[in-house]
Structures are given as C-alpha cells and as structure tokens.
C-alpha cells in the first residue's frame, strides 16, 4: 500500500483537485479525494495513520 501511495504522490493534480493522469483504475478528472477515500478504505488504521504519519487518536 505504501508503494501505491508513493506512486500516487507523483500524479499531477490540477487546481480543481482532479487527477491529470491515469492512476490505477482512476481516470484523469477523478477527484483526488475519491482516491484518498479508496486508500482510506484499505488501510486498517485509516489513511492518515497508516500512510500519512499521523498518530492514532487515543480513546
């Protein structure tokens, strides 16, 4: 998953937060937030913790 996140980080994003190139099955014009949600659904602790380095919230 980290490799995919790294690959996504080099995809150009326009001023409307849309992909400018294909990424996996996501076509150009897809919102970056749709891709973030895709990652978030696949990360056991969520995107922010697993791939963005945030600390888990204490309960």
26 inside domain: yes
Each residue's pLDDT expressed in tens, for the chain with a length of 59 residues: 899 999 999 999 999 999 999 999 999 999 999 999 999 999 888 888 888 878 877 76
Looking at residue 58, its pLDDT comes to 74
Which of 41, 15, 19, 14 minimizes the C-alpha distance to 30? 19
41 inside domain: yes
Which of 33, 7, 31, 11 minimizes the C-alpha distance to 21? 11
Give the whole-angstrom CA distance, residue 11 versus residue 1.
Answer: 16
CA angle 14, 37, 39 (to 5 degrees): 100
pTM of the model: 0.84
**DSSP classification of residue 11:** S
Six-digit token string for 47: 């995107």
15 inside domain: yes
Looking at residue 43, its pLDDT comes to 86
Domain that holds residue 33: 2-50
24 inside domain: yes
| Structural domain count of the chain | 1
Looking at residue 15, its pLDDT comes to 98
CA-based radius of gyration for the chain? 12
Looking at residue 59, its pLDDT comes to 65
């Amino acid at each position: 998953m980290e490799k995919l996140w790294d690959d996504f980080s080099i995809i150009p994003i326009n001023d409307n937060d849309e992909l400018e190139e294909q990424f996996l099955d996501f076509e150009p014009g897809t919102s970056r937030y749709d891709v973030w949600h895709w990652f978030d659904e696949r990360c056991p602790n969520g995107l922010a913790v697993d791939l963005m380095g945030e600390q888990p919230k204490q309960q």
